[in-house]
Structure 1
Amino acid sequence: MRSTFLGFNAARSGLFAAQRALDITGHNISNVNTPGYTRQRLNQVQSDAMRLFGGQGTLGTGVDTVSITQFRNEFLDFKYRSEVNTEGYWEAKRDGLRFIEAIFNEPSDTGISTVIDELFESFQELSKNPENLTTRALVRQRGVAFANSANHMYSQLEKMAVDLNFDIKTTVDSINGYAEQIAKLNEQIFRYENDGSNANDLRDQRNLLLDELSKLVNVEVLEVHNHNDDVIKGQEGSKIGKKMVIQINGQPLVSHNRFTKLNADDEKASSFDSTLFMKEIKWEGGDKLDIRGLNGELKALLDLRDGNTGSSKGIPYYINELNRFVKTFADEINKIHTSAFGLNGSDGVAFFTAGGVDTPPLTPPLTDANLDPTDGSYIPELGGINAKNIKISLDIDNDLNTIAASNTVDLLPGDGSQALAINALRHKASMFQEGKPEDFIKSLISNLGVDTQEAIRMAANQTFLTEQINNQRQSISGVSIDEEMTHMVKFQHAYNASARMITTMDEMLDVIINRVGLVGR
């Protein structure tokens, strides 16, 4: 038999359901601009119905609120984190290559190509008037300018490597920070959801941290069921007893409420300069982080700092190329200059040396490596010259007369044939594999330009792709003010209708209680 107050209970449940739905709508509207927030909805079902006797069917008893859930698409979360990881890699690489381009500063009026041209032009002027001290001073100054340019470019590349080293340390610290926060959230979410509830707002915080972490390094997110340790790949879940594991290359960064720190404090000698120390990334236990298959901003920084191959060109590659150019260029000039005679009759004087040391003596032991195969002239051992230490020799720095321009001592002071021979090196196509000095610089800058343009293009494409996927995510998870306003009006009317239903039921009961049986009194 129907209860007297059944209608009250049905209307009351509708009143409370509409009120809760309005609360959730207000929560959505309040967080419309909150990063990482996912809109929520109230799930409700009809209450268990009452069976009527005599096969009359069932009578509804109201509504039950089941849960508050989020609108999320786990596949789009996975896709977004994959694409933002690639975006982080190309953006960091783009910025690094742009800075290398600024260091080389080519083509420009102040780049090394211009300095080389001015050096050759000064030798050409010397060939015309080899006894003029003003012209000799110009040659010395142009030589100093070339050495200083090479030194400066090397020091800038070296400083960039040190700066990248700091950036790597900072990125590793950020990864540790995200891991620690996620571990704490994992514990809170697990405790909150252990009774079947949904920790929606905590999950939003964790998802936002996963998005930011994914830009720094590629991670694999696993959900582990506590009851049987069954591993399911995915991003989020609402099953009871599920714990989260985050891995980098198969090694756990976060294991539910615990996390393993990465350290970038141990130092190793750099591959291009033993005086520099570069951070190695290791796990807290001491094992090195396997960087194979690594991606994201961290990988780009490592490539820029350590890359020395055609597929991964970084600071060591460009330093090695700069060293190769400077050494070959200096050796070619020295080979001619040491075989020529200065205005004071001196010979065997090197034009460039390593660190400005004195000219190597013309004394045994002589080997085939010290002799020019074309004419048997002496070539001093100058293997130590590179972009970092190249200087004008002390002999030339101290005495302009030691600048050698004459082919023989007998033709002094008016012979400038050897200065003219040095000037001709600018057109020596066999000096480098790439050709003459100008060709080497153009080839190096062209390759750098191609790599930079590729990074710029890839970063732009990835940004567009990431935004597209994020827009798809927001179309599902994001809050729409228009939609929430529509829901607000709908739930408001539902609330008012339920309240009106209670009033009606109250009036009906008032008739039964206070008016029935009063006739004839």
Structure 2
Amino acid sequence: MSSLFGILSAAGQSLLTFQRGINSTNKNIANVSTEGYNREIPVFQDLPRSGVFMNKIIRVFDQSLFSRSIDLNQKLNSDNEFASGLSNIETIFNDALGTGFSSDLNTFFNSINDMLIKPDDLAARSQFLANAQTLVGKIRNTDKALEDLKQQTVLKVRDQINQINQITSQLAKLNQSIKTKTLDIEVNNEYLNERDRLIKQLSDLIDTKVVFNEDNTVNVFTAKGYGLVVGIESTQLSFETDSNGNAVVKWNNVADITKEIQNGQVGGNLKTIDKVNEQLNKLNDFVTVLTTVFNKVHRQGYGLDGSTNTDFFTIDPSKSGTKIDASNVYINITDPKKVALASDPKYLNSDNTNGKNLLGLKNNISNLYTNPSQPVLTPTEEANLKASLNDPTNYDFIKTHTFAEFYNTKLVAEVSSTSSYIKQQQQNNKYLYDAITEKMKSITGVNMDEELINLTKLQRSYEASARIITVTDELMQTILGLIK
């Protein structure tokens, strides 16, 4: 009789064990399409005279593939954000869409030539001023568009820093739960799935280094080693802007780590901000050089009304600043008679010599068109101009080339070249990331064919255990009947 009780106990243990195995398999099947779910494998162990016992449930996880996936993911997200930012910059300078000002610059200089034909033609002079206003308007619109793009990108960085802080706080709390270790293996595995999901979200935003500890907790650091999550403690990142409106990211409100962040969405947006600043600097230098040399030549001539020593460009009275740039450039004269085309005050109606020098600036800012031996700027004026620029080499480029070449090469072509390179890099990283993701899915993901086979085996084992219990119960009833 005691042996029957032993059989009944062993069968009962097996029945419960196979039920847990079925539940585990059903869980895998239910999560076949769940992003970030790692399949679980029940491990059974035979116990002498005690039936079958579920020793553990293994969560399938490949740490090396996961780490590689995180590394590629943060690079890919950086490429995505930076490529988007570069595309926006290209749109701002897209002459085909009418947002650039290359054709307006060309029209501005060509309209000088129209005035040279008949210097006393007020209609031609008025059209020149209108073209100048159009050019200035386009330049200022371009400056505003770049500033708006910069501001929008800075706000995106701010929001992403807030997201990072939320994720690191959650990771620290999750480390506490994992460290505590509940006896429920399935709950522990869910903690680990959540841990990996949060790490993936963090890698979307910022480049990190993840250290897996023996107790399954993780320590997360920035690329340069600043701790974001260490054990059950998280360190917050702070966001602020500097005097120029640029995003500044600090670790623990102390260390400025802005330049260290290269990947993730934050890294891509910081690169966009740098590129926008670079474009703004080039645009401002372009305007400063253009207005300086044009004013210098214009001051040397005479208008129809005999006016002289008049700047053509100036600073917008409603703006502040000590030099003319893209944000404040303004047409100083409104009276077409004051356009200084003449060099000889005796022939104001017919002399166009100074007008030729103004037109000559289109292709040469080194020497006057009508007097090649005379430089446009004196050595002192040239030195002062270069000192006022964001990059003195921008003046050197215009001096040896033209304004149009500077626009097409420095403001348009270089952005397009960078954009093409980033897009190619983006495609390469996406290919590698997709390959790693597929490899991970083949290892850690749920295969329905395998799960259905396992489910069938476990159901048969469950039925066999149930049958043993039924048969044993019948034997016990028979024996009890004999005793009576």
Amino acid at match of 2:294: I
My pick for the range that moved more, 213-222 or 132-141, is 213-222
Name 2:357's counterpart in structure 1. 421
Task: Name the SS for the 1:384 alignment partner.
Answer: coil
Between the aligned partners of 2:210 and 2:438, the Cα distance in structure 1 is 22
Task: Name the SS for the 2:81 alignment partner.
Answer: helix
Which of 190, 193, 196 does residue 204 from structure 1 map onto? 193
Between the aligned partners of 2:124 and 2:314, the Cα distance in structure 1 is 21
Report the count of equivalent residues. 450
Q: 1:338 to 1:20 in 2, by over 3 A?
A: same
1:175 maps to 2:111: no
My pick for the range that moved more, 479-488 or 179-188, is 479-488
Name 1:30's counterpart in structure 2. 30
Instruction: Point out where structure 2 has 5 or more consecutive residues left out of the alignment.
Output: 367-394
Name 1:329's counterpart in structure 2. 290
1:411 maps to 2:386: no
Instruction: Point out where structure 1 has 5 or more consecutive residues left out of the alignment.
Output: 50-59, 225-236, 271-276, 308-313, 358-381
Between the aligned partners of 2:289 and 2:317, the Cα distance in structure 1 is 17
* Bigger Rg over Cα: 1
Name 1:45's counterpart in structure 2. 45
Is 2:208–2:221's contact at 8 Å kept on the other side of the alignment?
yes
Name 1:392's counterpart in structure 2. 331
Q: 1:472 to 1:86 in 2, by over 3 A?
A: same
Which of 466, 484, 495 does residue 433 from structure 2 map onto? 466
Q: 1:197 to 1:13 in 2, by over 3 A?
A: same
Q: 1:488 to 1:353 in 2, by over 3 A?
A: same
Cα deviation 1:90-125 (Å, max 9, x = unaligned) = 111101111111111245555211101111121111
Cα deviation 1:175-199 (Å, max 9, x = unaligned) = 0010111112111222234898860
Which of 467, 476, 487 does residue 443 from structure 2 map onto? 476
Amino acid at match of 1:181: Q
Task: Name the SS for the 2:219 alignment partner.
Answer: strand
Name 1:251's counterpart in structure 2. 226
Between the aligned partners of 2:36 and 2:217, the Cα distance in structure 1 is 21
The Cα of 1:69 is off from its aligned counterpart by: 2.0
1:71 maps to 2:60: yes
Q: 1:383 to 1:410 in 2, by over 3 A?
A: farther
Between the aligned partners of 2:365 and 2:33, the Cα distance in structure 1 is 63
Alignment of 1:121-520 (within 5 A): 121-193=110-182, 199-224=188-213, 239=215, 243-248=217-222, 249-265=224-240, 267-270=241-244, 277-289=245-257, 291-292=259-260, 294-305=262-273, 307=274, 314-355=275-316, 384-393=323-332, 396-397=333-334, 399-428=335-364, 432-433=396-397, 435-444=401-410, 445-515=412-482
The Cα of 1:63 is off from its aligned counterpart by: 1.1
1:18 maps to 2:18: yes
RMSD: 2.5
Amino acid at match of 1:259: S
- Percent identical residues: 25
Name 2:369's counterpart in structure 1. none
Cα deviation 1:281-338 (Å, max 9, x = unaligned) = 2233533336436422212222222x3xxxxxx1221111111111112223223211
Between the aligned partners of 1:254 and 1:348, the Cα distance in structure 2 is 66
The Cα of 1:383 is off from its aligned counterpart by: 7.4
Task: Name the SS for the 1:13 alignment partner.
Answer: helix
Between the aligned partners of 1:195 and 1:504, the Cα distance in structure 2 is 33
Normalising to structure 2: TM-score of the pair?
0.86
Amino acid at match of 1:319: L
